[in-house]
Structure 1
Amino acid sequence: MEFRHLESFLAIAEELHFGRAAAKLHLAQPSLSQHLQRLERSVGTELVARTSHEVRLTPAGEAFRDQARAIVAQVYKAGQTAREAAAGRSGHVDVAYNFAAGQHVLPAVLTTMHTDHPNVGVTLHEMRTGPQLQALRAGDVDVAMVYGRPVGAEFESRPLAKFPLVAVVGPNHRWAGRPGASFSELAHEPCILFGREQCPAMYDSIFGAASSSGITLNVEHEVDDPGAVAIMTSVKPLVGFASTLRGRHISGNVRAVPVRLFDPVPTVELYVAWLSGKTSPAAELFLDCVEAQASVLGEEPLQV
């Protein structure tokens, strides 16, 4: 049974006229008749009864018509799905991101994706920069949103926004009610920090500001989980660091308190990154939406 034979049968079933059916398919009428004969031999019964006065479907033809329509429709749908996937209008994108990207970039990007490309699925994975780049390199994610330009020829990237870093303290810390603090004041405060491999750009920005201030940071604890940092600063007189804490709660009604740092103001830049030459059509569509949002971010400086 050939697909073209099904198409010929359906044209006959719709037109009930061999001449019109042949014209509809841009076939010669003898070819159309041959298609029907071969289909009937394949099925093993007569599907169309034809006399000099009329063309009609047999009871077997009536029953076969519905199944043939379903088969043809499914084949057309399969072809359309393949074409959409090739053009990036369907498929799936795995996106790694950090908290700042989740707050300032992804909401608008996902809204655009849902509106313009509703058949493209997006799965999100929140993690720090180091693990993001490892996942990107391993092929576990398609796009990463990281701090600092990724180092390595295998990565391509584009800057999105620059964020000031803030100190993070608990609600009972003596800095909690202050609008800001000079970076040099950190010389007298026990700090909690993450390992450099977790986020090199933020780590280097913090220690660069310390060097510019002529101080040495007193790092009492090293913790790689941002949630654990927030919890520890809520119960101990420690100072942590973050790029944004807008709306972030520790637990219940307890909130981490951001304190602006100045003289100098440490900053970190957010990038979108992907593997060079290895983006899928669906990932390309996601990156197009990120590009549009990047233009908006460039016009409106972000405030913490």
Structure 2
Amino acid sequence: MDFRHLSSFIVLAEELHFGRAAARLHMSQPSLSAQLQKLEKSLDVTLVVRSSHEVQLTSPGVEFAKHARMVVAQMNKAVDITKSTAAGQVGSLNIGYNFLASRHVLPSTLARLGQRHPHMSVSLWEKRTGPQLGGIVDESLDIALVYGEPRLPGLRSRLLLSRVPIVAVVGRAHPWAGRSSVRCAELAGEPCVLFDRDQCPAMYDAIVAAAAESGVSLTVAQSSDDPGGTAHVIAMKPYVAFASLSRAAGVGMGTAGASSVAVKLIDPTPTVDLYMVWSETTVNSAVAAFVDCVEEVST
């Protein structure tokens, strides 16, 4: 199978038009058709059906396009790593992280990494736990810094920080805004803003479990996966949101001019752990270099 045929098919699957796809690929339509025919012949499967009006992928074509994108992405990544290594950059890293990691893990670790490997290429991506773990699985990320120990097969992990408190976050007009703490039992009947569980399972479960321990079933009035968007919601409505104590302190909740206030949750206090995660099958030597630096600055 010719790798160029995969790339051409991906473009065709995106455009669903031979003329536009051929233009993007800088080739003629007959040449693109010939490549598609060779690809289908090598697979012994029809990937595309076309009429005089439209082009459509078959069911096998849809599935093949998804996996072809992954293959091409990995090939491009391998090329980038090889070129970086040849240029003396000792590889490259794509690192996912959350707010807590940005404050308590990355500064010292990246400083050490820069000392040890000054030419290594590092890209940073702030994401919630779910998308980060998805990135490790599809290999768009090399390292994930996430809440909760992952349960997915094929992953390695290391505990970095344990029992990080989760706080309630309210707007300045909320009755809780002047309080230093609230019991979890007081969440009963309070309209809450909560993210979807798949975005951060460990934090979601910790919040729900702490409420349940107090006999409370949370009233979720609105769902929001964006911390910035959540802050705007609670500034306008008397809702209760949740955040790590690190985020609350880091963005200045409760300080002069801030639109929101962090309030400690007690009896019980929900907590979450921070983990470093990577694939046990990774072939990127830069991952081991990063893990070593984390261990060095943690001791």
1:277 aligns to 2:278 (yes or no): no
The answer (yes or no) to whether the contact 2:167–2:263 under 8 Å persists in 1 is: yes
Q: How many angstroms does 1:122 deviate by?
A: 1.3
The answer (yes or no) to whether the contact 2:89–2:121 under 8 Å persists in 1 is: no
Aligned to 1:112: 112
Q: How far apart, in 1, do the equivalents of 2:193 and 2:242 lie?
A: 8
Q: How far apart, in 1, do the equivalents of 2:259 and 2:113 lie?
A: 32
Flag the 1:279–1:259 CA change in 2: closer, same or farther, 3 A: farther
2:234 match: secondary structure: helix
Q: How far apart, in 2, do the equivalents of 1:85 and 1:267 lie?
A: 41
Partner amino acid, structure 1, of 2:249: R
Aligned to 2:268: 264
The answer (yes or no) to whether the contact 1:248–1:255 under 8 Å persists in 2 is: no
Q: Choose from 227, 243, 247 the match for 2:250.
A: 247
Partner amino acid, structure 1, of 2:262: P
Q: How many angstroms does 1:294 deviate by?
A: 3.5
Flag the 1:168–1:192 CA change in 2: closer, same or farther, 3 A: same
Q: Choose from 289, 294, 297 the match for 1:290.
A: 294
Partner amino acid, structure 2, of 1:180: S
Q: How many angstroms does 1:279 deviate by?
A: 4.5
Partner amino acid, structure 2, of 1:146: V
Bigger-Rg structure (1/2): 1
Flag the 1:265–1:256 CA change in 2: closer, same or farther, 3 A: same
The answer (yes or no) to whether the contact 2:167–2:242 under 8 Å persists in 1 is: yes
1:90-109 alignment, distance < 5 Å:
90-109=90-109
Q: How many angstroms does 1:241 deviate by?
A: 0.6
Pairs aligned (count): 213
Aligned to 1:172: 173
Aligned to 1:138: 138
1:150 match: secondary structure: coil
Any gaps of 5 or more consecutive residues in structure 2? 1-80
Q: How many angstroms does 1:242 deviate by?
A: 0.8
Q: With structure 1 as the length reference, what TM-score do the two structures score?
A: 0.65
Flag the 1:109–1:182 CA change in 2: closer, same or farther, 3 A: same
User: Root-mean-square deviation (CA), in Å?
Assistant: 2.4
Aligned to 2:220: 219
Flag the 1:249–1:112 CA change in 2: closer, same or farther, 3 A: same
Partner amino acid, structure 1, of 2:232: I
Any gaps of 5 or more consecutive residues in structure 1? 1-80, 296-304
Q: Deviations over 1:15-54 (max 9, x none)?
A: xxxxxxxxxxxxxxxxxxxxxxxxxxxxxxxxxxxxxxxx
1:190 aligns to 2:191 (yes or no): yes
The answer (yes or no) to whether the contact 1:142–1:279 under 8 Å persists in 2 is: no
Aligned to 1:209: 210
Structure 1 runs of 4+ aligned residues shifted over 3 Å read: none
Flag the 1:160–1:138 CA change in 2: closer, same or farther, 3 A: same
Identity over aligned residues, as a percent? 45
Q: How far apart, in 2, do the equivalents of 1:179 and 1:279 lie?
A: 49
Q: How many angstroms does 1:116 deviate by?
A: 2.1
1:27-176 alignment, distance < 5 Å:
85=85, 90-162=90-162, 163-176=164-177
Partner amino acid, structure 2, of 1:106: L
The answer (yes or no) to whether the contact 1:161–1:294 under 8 Å persists in 2 is: no
Q: How far apart, in 2, do the equivalents of 1:188 and 1:239 lie?
A: 11
Partner amino acid, structure 2, of 1:281: S
